[in-house]
C-alpha cells in the first residue's frame, strides 16, 4: 500500500474510533509529516483521500477538520450481556496483565493512575517525613481496627461533598478500594449468591466476585448513563439477586456519570427488593464537575448502601488507603476486614489525615 493510503487508513481508523470527534481539528500537515516520517505531500495526499470520502473538510488558513456528519462513532449505546448469572472467568488474563505491570518501555493502560510527580503531593510527603522524625512510634503501632480516627474525621468532610452526612464511626479503613469491594461482597452475600453488575464492569470487582464464590449477573448498561433500571428490575424478578455492585460516578471503563435521578431510582429499587448496593466511588472526586456528583449513598435512609473508595486515583495508589462507609453492615464489615488483614498500616493513614486537615487534598 502506498504511504499516503496507509496514512489515510490510519487517520480514518482514528476518526472512526472516536479519537477525533465530529468537528475536531485534525493535526497539521507538518505535524503529521514529522510524526509519521513522511513528506508534506504524502500527508496532503492522505487528507485529499479523506476529503473525497467526505470524512474530512479543509478550511482555508485553518487546516483540516473532521467533517460534521452523522454519528461516526460506532459505540454501542447499551450492552447486551447474557441474561443469566455466570461464573466469572478470565483470571489468567487479568493475572498476565497485572504481571506485565512495570515492564520497561511499555505504556501502561491497565491502571488509571494520578500524576505522582505532581508538586501538590509534596505536603503529603512532608507529613510522612515529619511523622517519622518526630513521632516514629505513632506510625509503627497497631492502629484502630476501623482505621485512624484522624483520617476518619477527614473522611466525614470528604463524603459531605458527596451529599452524605456520616460520622467518623461510620467508616472502616481498608487496603485500597479493591479490599473494600472484596470485604463488602463477603459482608452482603454468601457462596453461590448472585450479584448484579454493570456490563462491562471493572475487572478487579469481577475477580472479587469470583474469589468470594459468587455469580455475576450482568445487566445491560448504557454507555452514557449506566445500568438500565428496567433491565435490572426484570433481572431481579427472575433471579435471586443479593446485591448490586455499581460504579455510577465516572464509571470504569465507560466513563459515564449516572444522572442523579437514576441513582435515586436505583436506590429505590434496591429498597423495594430489600437488597444491598455496593457503590464504588473511587473516581467520584475527579469528575469534571464542581461540585462533584452526589453518590447513591446520599439517598441512603436505611443503611443498605456500602460506599467504597480510596486515595489511589486522587493521591497515589501505593499508600493503599481506601475506605468503606458500610451503613448497617458496619459490624460485619469490621469483622471481615479484621480477620482478613487486621488493621491497615498506620503511617499512611496518619499522613493522609493530616494532609486533608491542612487543606492539601
Ligand X SMILES: Cc1ncc(COP(=O)(O)O)c(C=O)c1O
Contact in structure between 59 and 65 (CB atoms under 8 Å): yes
Nearer to ligand X among residue 94 and residue 112 (C-beta): 112
Choose among 239, 127, 130: nearest CA to 194.
Answer: 239
Nearer to ligand X among residue 81 and residue 201 (C-beta): 201
Contact between 111 and ligand X per CB under 6 A: yes
CB atoms within 10 A of CB 141: 9
Q: Among residues 312, 334, 346, 354, which is the contact residue for ligand X, using CB under 6 A?
A: 312
- DSSP-derived letter for residue 295 is P
Q: With CB under 6 A, what is the number of residues at the site for ligand X?
A: 15
Contact between 112 and ligand X per CB under 6 A: yes
Q: Among residues 42, 79, 249, 310, which is the contact residue for ligand X, using CB under 6 A?
A: 310
Least separation in angstroms between residue 309's CB and ligand X is 8
Least separation in angstroms between residue 133's CB and ligand X is 28
Contact between 178 and ligand X per CB under 6 A: yes
The sign one gets for the Cα dihedral 316, 318, 319, 325 is positive
Least separation in angstroms between residue 132's CB and ligand X is 23
| Euclidean distance between CA atoms 296 and 157, whole angstroms | 17
Contact in structure between 197 and 205 (CB atoms under 8 Å): yes
| Contacts (Cβ under 8 Å, ≥6 apart) of 48 | none
Residue 306: strand pairing partners: 278
Least separation in angstroms between residue 8's CB and ligand X is 36
Residue range at the interface with ligand X (CB under 6 A); choices 160-168, 173-181, 215-223, 340-348: 173-181
Residue range at the interface with ligand X (CB under 6 A); choices 15-23, 164-172, 266-274, 309-317: 309-317
Residue range at the interface with ligand X (CB under 6 A); choices 88-96, 149-157, 172-180, 229-237: 172-180
Contact between 176 and ligand X per CB under 6 A: yes
- 3-state SS track over 45-113: HHHHHHHHCCCEEEECCCEEEECCCCCCCCCCCECCCCCCCECCCCHHHHHHHHHCCCCCCCCCCCCCC
Residues found near ligand X in the complex (CB under 6 A): 111-112, 176-178, 202, 204, 247, 252, 280, 282, 310, 312, 317, 322
Amino acid at each position: 500500500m502506498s504511504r499516503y493510503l496507509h496514512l489515510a487508513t490510519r487517520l480514518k481508523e482514528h476518526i472512526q474510533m472516536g479519537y477525533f470527534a465530529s468537528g475536531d481539528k485534525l493535526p497539521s500537515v507538518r505535524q503529521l509529516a514529522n510524526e509519521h516520517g513522511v513528506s508534506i505531500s504524502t500527508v496532503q495526499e492522505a487528507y485529499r483521500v479523506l476529503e473525497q470520502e467526505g470524512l474530512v473538510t479543509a478550511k482555508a488558513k485553518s487546516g483540516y477538520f473532521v467533517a460534521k456528519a452523522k454519528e461516526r462513532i460506532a459505540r454501542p449505546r447499551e450492552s447486551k450481556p447474557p441474561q443469566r448469572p455466570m461464573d466469572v472467568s478470565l483470571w489468567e488474563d487479568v493475572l498476565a496483565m497485572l504481571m506485565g505491570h512495570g515492564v520497561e518501555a511499555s505504556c501502561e493502560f491497565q491502571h488509571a493512575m494520578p500524576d505522582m510527580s505532581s508538586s501538590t503531593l509534596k505536603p503529603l510527603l512532608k507529613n510522612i517525613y515529619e511523622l517519622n522524625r518526630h513521632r516514629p512510634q505513632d506510625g509503627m503501632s497497631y492502629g484502630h481496627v476501623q482505621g485512624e480516627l484522624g483520617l476518619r474525621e477527614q473522611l466525614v468532610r470528604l463524603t459531605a461533598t458527596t451529599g452524605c452526612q456520616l460520622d467518623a464511626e461510620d467508616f472502616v479503613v481498608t487496603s485500597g478500594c479493591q479490599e473494600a469491594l472484596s470485604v463488602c461482597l463477603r459482608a452482603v452475600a454468601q457462596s453461590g449468591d448472585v450479584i448484579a453488575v454493570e456490563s462491562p464492569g471493572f475487572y478487579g470487582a469481577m475477580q472479587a466476585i469470583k474469589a468470594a464464590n459468587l455469580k455475576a449477573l450482568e445487566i445491560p448498561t448504557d454507555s452514557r448513563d449506566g445500568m438500565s433500571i428496567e433491565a435490572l428490575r426484570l433481572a431481579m424478578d427472575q433471579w435471586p439477586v443479593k446485591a448490586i455492585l455499581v460504579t455510577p460516578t465516572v464509571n470504569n471503563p465507560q466513563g459515564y456519570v449516572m444522572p442523579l435521578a437514576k441513582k435515586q431510582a436505583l436506590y429505590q429499587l434496591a429498597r423495594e427488593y430489600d437488597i444491598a448496593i455496593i457503590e464504588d466511588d473511587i473516581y467520584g472526586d475527579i469528575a469534571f464537575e464542581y461540585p462533584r456528583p452526589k453518590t447513591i449513598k446520599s439517598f441512603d435512609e436505611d443503611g443498605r448502601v456500602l460506599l467504597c473508595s480510596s486515595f489511589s486515583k486522587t493521591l497515589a495508589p501505593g499508600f493503599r488507603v481506601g475506605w468503606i462507609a458500610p451503613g448497617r453492615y458496619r459490624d460485619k464489615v469490621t469483622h471481615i476486614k479484621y480477620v482478613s488483614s487486621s488493621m491497615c498500616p498506620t503511617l499512611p493513614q496518619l499522613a493522609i489525615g493530616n494532609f486533608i486537615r491542612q487543606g492539601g487534598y
